[in-house]
Structure 1
Amino acid sequence: MSMDIEVRSIRQADLPHLLRLCRRHAEYEAAIWFENNQIERWSEALFSTSPDLFGWVAEANGRVCGFMTVTVDYATWNAAHFSHMDCLYIEDEYRGYGIGRRFFDCLDAFCRERNIGHVQWQTPPDNQLGIGFYQRMGATNKPKLRFFHTVSPREEA
């Protein structure tokens, strides 16, 4: 099958597609998905004058079929900014067409523009396809545990 693939920055009109892809990504990782007014919140995070989130989509033959999002963080030990790849997901039927590599090209360009020297991310240990892809991209891994802490809402006085 011939694929006309474009990888580009996320646009406002892509957000409903991003919602669909995030649901599928959560399903792929066997994670719990919940609706949380994401489209409105993404709109602010991605398109404000000082964005908290940066992202790209892949569009194949007119269908948004994948996405990658990143944030910029700061490492205390290195005293330097780094990029955190929050999500990278490509629908099954669109894998193997070089979309992931093109996302990484966008990520590298994004980091170079900001003088950011490295990127960090995590993936489930059973995501062997993803792990193999990341290793082919030259990434290395470091075993760590990922912890979560829920902050209770502030009590009203």
Structure 2
Amino acid sequence: MKVRLATKEDSETLLALIQLKAGFDRNMKGFNGEVSTTVEKIERTLFGDLPFAHALLLEIEGKAQGFALFHYRYSSFSGDPSIWLDDLLVVDEQRSKGLGLALMKAIKSQAESTLASHIAWTASPHNTGAHQFYEKLGAEIERMEGARPFFRWSVS
């Protein structure tokens, strides 16, 4: 198993994983739209001169089995950067094998190397398995918007 930063050459793979994530989220009632991004948009926005986000790919024997998409945020009041985790997915047949943990540890490593204070994200209210996983990591529910939890994982 290997977790690495995605490159422009991974754009098609990222699009396929984003489409899988959208399907998963639809099943969890966390998303009801359509994916409108394209390989070209991914190349421009993730791998252009000014990347707006970053992606980690988790591979087993050279085949992508999961990904995490994140971007940095900045608080002018505290002067601290943080990471917003937009997407996290492990493909169906690879779930419950520790791959999600490997991706989360890799994101935490990114946060530590950039001196980010924390990682934040949200999850579908219906994905209680994910909620338990995040809480086992040490993440806390920072706030609720209706039934939707917003998680925060502090970086030491």
TM-score (norm 1): 0.80
Q: Deviations over 1:38-57 (max 9, x none)?
A: 21111122222332111111
Q: 1:15 aligns with which of 11, 14, 19?
A: 11
Q: Deviations over 1:1-47 (max 9, x none)?
A: xxxx2211112232222212211211111123434342111112222
Higher normalized strand content (fraction of residues):
2
> RMSD of aligned C-alpha atoms?
1.9
Q: Which residue of 2 aligns with 1:155?
A: none
Residue segments in structure 2 that go unaligned for 5+ positions in a row: 147-156
TM-score (norm 2): 0.81
Shift of 1:85: 0.5
Residue segments in structure 1 that go unaligned for 5+ positions in a row: 147-157
Report runs of 4+ in structure 1 exceeding 6 Å deviation.
none
- 1:136-155 alignment to 2 at 5 Å? 136-145=136-145
1:94 corresponds to 2:94: yes
Distance 2:38 2:55 in 1: 14
Q: 1:6 aligns with which of 2, 6, 24?
A: 2
Quick check: which has more Rg, 1 or 2? 1
Distance 1:78 1:39 in 2: 36
Distance 2:20 2:12 in 1: 13
- 1:52-71 alignment to 2 at 5 Å? 52-71=52-71
